[in-house]
Amino acid sequence: MTAPAIELTDLHKNFGATRIIRGVSLRVPAGERHAIIGPNGAGKSTLFNLISGRLTPTSGAVQLNGENVTGLPPHQINRRGVARSFQVTNIFPRLSVWENVRCAVLWSLGYKYAFWRGIEGLADVRERTEIILQAIDLIDRRSVQAGVLAYAEQRALEIGITIAGGAGIILLDEPSAGMSVAEAARAVALIRKVSEGRTLIMIEHDMGVVFDLADRISVLVYGQIIASDVPARIKRDSAVQTAYLGTAA
């Protein structure tokens, strides 16, 4: 049996005396679309930070595809096939849209720190950047400075940067935050398309998006997972209803 894409074992994270993550264990098999929901302050972004290497766990282990990556810095975890987006848009503001995506494809195509090759002549870089821009529907805005894009466009670019490297495990932190219904629908379609054949973990507040996309849902409350199951059973779970969903209208 192949190792799960992500395995968290009794993860704890304390900030001084404050315990944010209090013993989270989770197994996400490869290819699954997994959503993490929960009230504000539950520690969802902290959990992402622990998985992606932005924070080091106080105790517990993070394993990617069977390999223990606990405590590795973000760039090393990214090179092992994990890409993430951010809740607060985290792009390269003064670079053009084209440049933003291009920077995201370079490492995965193996160019690393090459200062002896001209970038304009690299056909695979150009092709891949074009493909990503087409997918996020920003191909016509390629020369625009990323910082002046509209909010929804920036969120799309954020997703584009995240998927550009071809990572097998994608972490999306509230991808549809601040979007209108139409924009969110487009974002969902994009996410469904790009996560085909890959493992997706998503933090979301929009229940429509969650129940639409997710194969399984985990509910995080006060730093602990109180339920982790298929959407149908999560909806009916009384503990989840009390903590988060509310009873059916």
Partner 1 sequence: MSDVGSGVANVPARVALSQPGAAAVVRLAAPWFALAVAFAILPAIFTSGSALTMLNLMGIMIVFALSYNMLLGETGLLSFGHAVYYGLGGFLVVHAMNTVIHDRLSVPLPVIPLVGGFSGLLFGIIFGSVSTRRAGTAFAMISLGLGELVASSSLILRGFFGGEEGVSTNRTKLLHMFGLNFGPQIQVYYLIAGWCLLSMVAMYALTRTPFGRMCNAVRENPERAQFVGYNPRTVRFIAFSLAGLFAGIAGGLAAINFELVNSSEVGAGQSGLVLLAAYIGGIGSFIGPVIGAVLVTWLEVMLSDVTDVWQLYFGLLFIGMVMFAPNGIAGLMMMHAPLWQARAYGSMLRLALTYLVALGPALVLLAGLILVIEMTYHLSVKASEGTAISVFHVALDAASVIPWVAAAILTFGGFWLFRLTWPVVGAAWHEAFAQAHGTGIAK
How far is it, in rounded angstroms, from Cα 171 to Cα 92?
19
**In angstroms, what CA-CA distances link 145 with 97, 99, 142, 149, 222?**
6, 9, 8, 7, 39
Among 134, 180, 238, 242, binds partner 1 (CB under 8 A): 134
Write 233-237 long-range contacts (CB < 8 A, 24+): 235/211
Per-residue x/- marks for partner 1, 144-173, CB under 8 A?
x---x------------x-xxxx-------
Which strands sit side by side in the sheet containing 18-28, from one edge to the other? 18-28, 6-15, 59-64, 67-68
Among 24, 28, 83, 214, binds partner 1 (CB under 8 A): 83
Question: Residue 213, interface with partner 1 (CB under 8 A)?
Answer: no
Question: Is position 87 an interface residue for partner 1 (rule: CB under 8 A)?
Answer: no
* Torsion angle defined by CA atoms of residues 92, 93, 98 and 101, in that order, rounded to the nearest 10 degrees: 30
Query: In terms of CB distance, is 132 or 221 closer to partner 1?
Result: 132
50 binds partner 1 (CB under 8 A): no
Which member of 12, 27, 126, 235 binds partner 1 (CB under 8 A)? 126
Torsional sign, CA 115, 119, 122, 124: positive
Measured distance CA(174)–CA(87) in Å, rounded:
6
Give the one residue of 90, 207, 226, 241 binding partner 1; rule: CB under 8 A: 90
Q: How many residues bind partner 1 (CB under 8 A)?
A: 56
Q: Does 71 bind partner 1 (CB under 8 A)?
A: no
Q: Which residues of 123-156 are buried (b: 16+ CB within 10 A; e: fewer)?
A: eebeebbeebbebbebeebbeeebeebeebbbbb
Site for partner 1, residues 220 to 249, rule: CB under 8 A: none
Closest distance between partner 1 and the C-beta of residue 22, in Å? 26
Asked whether position 202 contacts partner 1 by CB under 8 A, the answer is: no
CB of 108 to partner 1, least distance (A): 7
Positions touching partner 1 (CB under 8 A) are 52, 54, 73-75, 78-79, 83-84, 90-95, 99, 102-104, 106-108, 111-123, 125-127, 130-132, 134-135, 144, 148, 161, 163-166, 192-197
